[in-house]
Each structure stands twice: as structure tokens, then as C-alpha cells.
Structure 1
Amino acid sequence: MEQKIALKEWAVAVKALTDGKQIMVLRKGGIAEETRDFQLKSPRFFLLPAYEHQKPELLKEAYKDDLRTVSESWAPGSPTVEIASYAEAVDDIEIYDQETVDRLASFHIWTDTFTEDRLKWKRKQPLHLLLLRVHKLERPVSLPMRDAYTGCKSWVDLEFLPADAAARPVLDDEEFDRQAAEIRRAVAK
């Protein structure tokens, strides 16, 4: 077993990524970031579901049931956390303007208001669009919850995760490439 890095993301977003409903996340970084901004620490990382801050009013209607599902499977103070997927960042695109964010509306689970707020927060720093090639673990791994995994930060080092966990891509190459191309076109307009 070796230590691995994980991106903390809302549990409902991790579900959407792992279910193949989206291939991107929008990041600015957490309040407790060491560098005060978001930086891609590794091109490959596990997805750590986070339960803080996710609220139904920040999600498009179609994803509110997913929020209920992930919320029902977790309780505050839970002694474990489950890792079910990892991702490869195939692109890190910096976004500075509302028009670009608006063109991305059909590619993610968040409301227009929430994405606009994310862009405006820390106004001088870009919103990072990470295009992610997600892989679902054949067997999810349950890890003891550590204090180091909590708080408003993007990256955590996971302990005791098997280095050889078998996984399969959530989307086949053709479908992933098609969706990635659509998102890149939306950004480039």
C-alpha cells in the first residue's frame, strides 16, 4: 500500500462523474488552500466524495435526486469514506469570463447562479475547468476517515490505498473524445 492523492469534490459531483453524466469539474480552490488558489497537483488522482457545502439549490433539477441518494448513504461523523473512482486530467482550461461559463451550462450539474458565483469568487484568479477521464474501481475501497480529509481544500493525501486497484473507464474512448471536443469547442467560441 502506498499513499495516493485525491481531489475532494462534492459527493453528488463524484457520482455524476462516476456515472458518466459529466466529464468536467469547475474549480477555484478551497478556502484552506495552501497556495490560496487552485493548482493541479497531479494529472491522475482519486475522487474523494465531500459532503460539505453541497445543497439542492446549487444543482440543476435533474441532479437533486442524486444529491438525496448520496446524502442518504452518509452520516456526519462517519468513521469511513468510500473511494469508488479515479480520474486523469486530460486538460486544465482557465476561464476568466462569464460568457465562457455560460456556454458550458449543458455540460455540468451546477446551476447558472452557482457557476457565476464561483467565477466571481477570488475575482483575479481563473476558474479551472478540468476535463476528466474517469475510471470506476471494480471494487470500491473503504478508508478510515481522517481529520486530514476534512475542511475546505481541494487535495488530500490518502493513506493505505492499494496501488493496483483494478478499474475501467466510465466512457469508451469514442464517447469521451466526442464530449471533450464539444466542451473544448464551447470554450473556444
Structure 2
Amino acid sequence: MGEHSIALKEWASTIRALLEGDQFILLRKGGIHEETRHFETRSDSFYLYPAYEHQRRELLKPEVRHYVDDSLRELESPGLLKGQTYLYAWAEVVDDIPITSEQELSRLYEFHMWTANFVEERLRWKSEDPLHVLLLRVYRLNRPLHVPALPEYGGCKSWIDIQELPRPDKDNLTPVIPLTEFAEKARVLRRALRL
């Protein structure tokens, strides 16, 4: 049996923001078809697999809505092989912070790209479960990978196992945010959350 790697599905527009260093967190509640019905961090490092189905411009703050347009242009690019998905990013989880109140959530507003209404709606959905704030160290793949867009990778689930794909070599990874700058950003975020 060949190697495989785990990937976290995320809006393509969000992955673009992560790769630009405009964001270093993800907010997760879990997909409708999660095996456990709850979000769990299945790995402390993973590929970011772009999803296009649910991203909508009006769910983003006006100044970053271009990320949706950019991702859709990329999807329609003649250079994209039919039936393939390109992977551009690898991420390491530095922290998984549970958020359970709108007060905590409001302190995160400056750290993410989504509208206040959208993230509040995410918090209220499955209200017995916390909203997970994944603090990520993101790396750009110097040589993007293309993988088959298999039917089993579709649907509303967070994690997918990508067959025949090893973990990236260190020489293929460039940190989006240098370590000292990232440590300072993480400190500011934790201070905002009063951790």
C-alpha cells in the first residue's frame, strides 16, 4: 500500500488569504458529514485542500472579497488539468482554542476575513460544540502538487485522506510568516482572547 497524507478542506479563498499572510487562523465547527458529527483535529500537520462549493463573497469582509474572485479565476484557469486539484499549502497546528461565547468571538474580529454575522452564525450552529480556532503556521509549497479530484473528496467534511501523496519535503516548504513575526502575531491573538 502506498503512502497517503491527510488534508483539511478549506475554502480556496481562505487558503489564498493564508498564503498571503493576511490570516493565520481558521475557524472550524465541522462539516455536516463528519464521521463524529464534531470537529476534531486529526493531525497536527496537513495539506490544505481547496474547496469552492460554499464560499460566497458576501460572507467575507468587503476588503477581502477579491479572494473569492481570485480563487474562482484560478479554478477556471486553462492551466488547471481537468479532474485535478492543485495543493499550494501545508499547515502546522500551533494551537486549537475552543470558543464558546459571542464575547470571545468578537475579540477575534480583526484576525479573520469573515463578516461578524457569518462567524456568529457558525458559533450558534451546533451550539453545544465549541468553535475551534486553529492557530496555524502555514507554508507555501515551492512546487505545488496536483492530485486527482476524486468523488470521495467531495461533500461537507473537514478531513480527507489523499492517496499516494507523501508529506512534503522540507526543501519544498517556505514559511509564509517568518517565525519571530508569527510568534508576535500569536502572542497578540492570545492576549486578545485573554489566554
- Compute the TM-score of the two structures, normalised by the length of structure 2: 0.93
The answer to whether the Cα contact below 8 Å between 2:14 and 2:67 also exists between their aligned partners in 1 is: no
Per-residue Cα deviation, 1:55-91 (whole angstroms, up to 9, x for no partner)? 011001111111101011115xx51101011100000
The answer to whether the Cα contact below 8 Å between 1:141 and 1:161 also exists between their aligned partners in 2 is: no
Q: Does residue 1:119 correspond to 2:123, yes or no?
A: yes
Q: 1:163: how far off? A: 3.3
Q: Does residue 1:149 correspond to 2:153, yes or no?
A: yes
The one of 174, 183, 188 equivalent to 1:182 is 188
Aligned residues between the structures: 187
Residue identity matched to 1:20? G
In 2, the alpha carbon distance for the partners of 1:70 and 1:10 equals: 9
In 2, the alpha carbon distance for the partners of 1:182 and 1:49 equals: 28
Partner of 2:33: 32
Partner of 1:4: 5
Per-residue Cα deviation, 1:2-55 (whole angstroms, up to 9, x for no partner)? 200000010011111111111000000000000001000000011001101100
Q: 1:159: how far off? A: 1.9
Gaps of 5+ in 1: none
Question: How much identity, in percent, do the aligned residues show?
Answer: 45
Map 1:73-112 to 2 at 5 A: 73-75=74-76, 78-112=82-116
Gaps of 5+ in 2: 77-81
In 2, the alpha carbon distance for the partners of 1:96 and 1:153 equals: 21
In 1, the alpha carbon distance for the partners of 2:184 and 2:62 equals: 25
RMSD of aligned residue pairs (Cα, Å): 1.2
SS in 1 for 2:42: coil
Q: Does residue 1:18 correspond to 2:32, yes or no?
A: no
Partner of 1:171: 177
Per-residue Cα deviation, 1:114-166 (whole angstroms, up to 9, x for no partner)? 00000000000000000000011111001111111110000000122243431
In 2, the alpha carbon distance for the partners of 1:139 and 1:185 equals: 36
The answer to whether the Cα contact below 8 Å between 2:10 and 2:49 also exists between their aligned partners in 1 is: yes
